[in-house]
Amino acid sequence: MGQVLDQFAAECHDILKQDSSDSGLEKVRQGLEKFLVSDEVLNEHLGPNADSERNIIYEDAELGFCIIAHVYKGPKESGPHDHGPAWAIYGQAKGETKMNEYDVLQAPADGNPGKVKVAKTYSMTPGVAVAYGVGKVHSPTRTASTHLIRMEGMNMGKVKRDKFEMA
Ligand SMILES: [Fe+2]
């Protein structure tokens, strides 16, 4: 693990151990914006040899949060989703992501998808990180390859998710 990652992960651990509310998340988001533009991220975790769609570069043994390096190739449109019981922070390192955020008009229930409508749309460019609290529905779209560092409140590879569709 690189020195900059070591330090960032330790900072996040200290912040989230004390305060995992929105204000703690905001401090982590600000730290991620600095981490994103570090030489270590750009040369190593998302450097020329990185090619994994989902590479967990840190998983906190005590609190469960993860720091994940993503190399996404080519264009892709994703559907509206939340991260179940977990928060998420998206950090753009290279390329551009068009993000939608949604209002939930009807929660998912009994296996039926929730109903949502677009609340806002914005562009994420390198150095920008945005936090999505638990239940905040969003969808990223890219028109070309992107590199992201994302954080999740827990390893979402292990968690089942609800579905959402446009109202
Ligand atoms: Fe997401």
User: What is the 98 CA–ligand 1 centroid distance (Å)?
Assistant: 12
User: What is the 122 CA–ligand 1 centroid distance (Å)?
Assistant: 15
Torsion of the alpha carbons at 124, 56, 24 and 161, rounded to the nearest 10: 80
Q: Is residue 119 part of a domain?
A: yes
Q: Is residue 53 part of a domain?
A: yes
> pTM above 0.85?
yes
The CATH number of the domain where 84 resides is what? 2.60.120.10
User: What is the 96 CA–ligand 1 centroid distance (Å)?
Assistant: 15
Rg, Å, the chain Cα set? 16
Q: Is residue 102 part of a domain?
A: yes
Q: Is residue 166 part of a domain?
A: no
Q: Is residue 85 part of a domain?
A: yes
User: What is the 49 CA–ligand 1 centroid distance (Å)?
Assistant: 25
User: What is the 62 CA–ligand 1 centroid distance (Å)?
Assistant: 23
Residues 6 or more apart in contact with residue 131 via CB below 8 angstroms = 22, 25, 26, 28, 29, 87, 88, 89
Q: Is residue 34 part of a domain?
A: yes
pLDDT in tens, the chain (167 residues): 689 999 999 999 999 999 999 999 999 999 999 999 999 999 999 999 999 999 999 999 999 999 999 999 999 999 999 999 999 999 999 999 999 999 999 999 998 999 999 999 999 999 999 999 999 999 999 999 999 999 999 998 878 888 999 99
Q: Is residue 144 part of a domain?
A: yes
What are the backbone dihedrals phi and psi of residue 125, each rounded to the nearest 5 degrees, phi first? -120, 165
69: exposed, middle or buried (Cβ count in 10 Å: 0-12, 13-18, 19+): buried
User: What is the 87 CA–ligand 1 centroid distance (Å)?
Assistant: 9
User: What is the 80 CA–ligand 1 centroid distance (Å)?
Assistant: 8
Q: Is residue 80 part of a domain?
A: yes
SS3 content of the chain, % helix, strand, coil (to 5): 25, 40, 35
* Element (DSSP H or E) covering residue 146: strand 146-152
Query: 136 is written with which tokens?
Result: 């905040």
Q: How many domains does the chain have?
A: 1
Strands (DSSP E) contained in 41-96 are 55-59, 66-72, 76-77, 88-94
pLDDT of residue 157: 80
User: What is the 35 CA–ligand 1 centroid distance (Å)?
Assistant: 20
User: What is the 155 CA–ligand 1 centroid distance (Å)?
Assistant: 12
User: What is the 83 CA–ligand 1 centroid distance (Å)?
Assistant: 6
Domain that holds residue 51: 3-156
How far apart (Å, rounded) are the C-alpha atoms in residues 3 and 136? Answer: 32
pLDDT of residue 1: 64
